[in-house]
Amino acid sequence: MRATVMYEAGDVRVEDVPDATISEPTDALLRVTRACICGSDLWPYKTMEPDEAGARMGHEFIGVIEDVGSEVTDFERGDVVVAPFFYSDGTCDFCGDGLHTSCYQGGIWGREGVDGGQGEAVRVPHADGTLVKLPVEVDDALMPSLLTLSDVFATGHHAAVSARVGEGDTVAVVGDGAVGLCGVIAAKRLGAEQIIILGRHADRTDLAQEFGATDVVPERGREATERVRELTGGQGAHRVLECVGLEAAFDTALRIARPGGAIGRVGVPQFDHLPGAGLGFFNNVTISGGVAPARAYIPELLPEVLEGRFEPGRVLDTEVGLDDVPDGYRQMDERESIKVLVKP
């Protein structure tokens, strides 16, 4: 079958790989009908050291079940399903806590003999624990929004939940990528009154405003801090969603947080130490969040997406076929596209 493999920074190829097959009785075999390129795929796209074996790519996908192992009980051939970006058994203590990303048997797509989502098919480990059935046809118009449940909408939601967004809050969203934009939707959904998006790309911040952002701050660093303070009566934002993953973004998040407030961080950290140990301490700012347990959130978010209450799929502003995935990476890297949908 054909699938996406990355060999080093800037070198992404679509090539023949071994066919996905059932190998464990808890597996399902999925034909991928929609996938994405993720902002987090851009980190290796910028920095990956050469690796002759290559890395299979893609962790956000929807597909149709082709076959299931003997122990899979919840799915059958023909089911349309969405996969969260982390597979999990659904039965361990952590899955029980709704923290599927810490599942003992869980893992990330594309590693350790597991297929990536940017390809024709995927072997899904622990299918019963991992997948969620979608009550729609395979080409439903809602597909882009449903696809965001696999990662970016669930991740934006995790940022908002982790920052404890509630009714009437002032929320600042650091980052105008797909996750930040979904964070705006999530913050509004949870009752935020004022939503400040920090971002410099007008097409994205325009979309943020359509999603519910009330203010746009294109400044960075100290100027951004001052601007957010102005917009919040000098106090800062109750809740800050850090949707970038760079040290400077975290630093800004900390500086614009209201004393007693909270940061929900979902940008995969590209740094080792969190700045501002003292500032956060004296301001009693809570730092929460992390890798989003998308699987836990899908049952809550899915019905509302099906009702069309939100359109997170609008962040998928570009569509490519499988052979054009490398160009999709380029478009995202050069910010021609917010996020790329792949239709194998």
Residues of the shown chain interacting with a copy of itself in the complex, contacts defined by CB under 8 A: 93-94, 97, 99, 101-102, 162, 235, 250, 259-260, 262, 265, 268-269, 271-278, 280-291, 293
Beta carbon nearer to a copy of itself, 58 or 289: 289
DSSP assigned state of 119: B
Give the pair of three-digit tokens for residue 175.
Answer: 């980052």
Beta carbon nearer to a copy of itself, 112 or 334: 112
CB of residue 278 vs a copy of itself: minimum separation in angstroms?
5
Give the separation between CA 182 and CA 188, rounded to whole angstroms. Answer: 10
3-class SS at 89? coil
User: Residue type for 210, please?
Assistant: E
198 — alpha (psi -120 to 50), left (phi > 0) or beta? beta
Beta carbon nearer to a copy of itself, 288 or 318: 288
- Strand (E) or helix (H) holding 30: strand 28-37
CB of residue 232 vs a copy of itself: minimum separation in angstroms?
11
Instruction: Give 152-215 as a DSSP string.
Output: HHHHHHHHHHHTT--TT-EEEEE--SHHHHHHHHHHHHTT-SEEEEE-S-HHHHHHHHHHT--E
Beta carbon nearer to a copy of itself, 75 or 109: 109
CB of residue 117 vs a copy of itself: minimum separation in angstroms?
20
Beta carbon nearer to a copy of itself, 161 or 302: 161
User: Residue type for 152, please?
Assistant: V
CB of residue 101 vs a copy of itself: minimum separation in angstroms?
7
Beta carbon nearer to a copy of itself, 259 or 321: 259
Instruction: Give 198-248 as a DSSP string.
Output: E-S-HHHHHHHHHHT--EEE---HHHHHHHHHHHTTTS-EEEEEE-S-SHH
Beta carbon nearer to a copy of itself, 292 or 320: 292
CB of residue 326 vs a copy of itself: minimum separation in angstroms?
28
Residue 298 near residue 151, CB atoms below 8 Å: no
CB of residue 267 vs a copy of itself: minimum separation in angstroms?
9
65: nearest Cα among 20, 27, 29, 117: 29
Question: In 15-27, which positions are buried (b, 16+ CB within 10 angstroms) versus exposed (e)?
Answer: eebeebebeeebb
CB of residue 283 vs a copy of itself: minimum separation in angstroms?
7
CB of residue 164 vs a copy of itself: minimum separation in angstroms?
10
Beta carbon nearer to a copy of itself, 218 or 276: 276
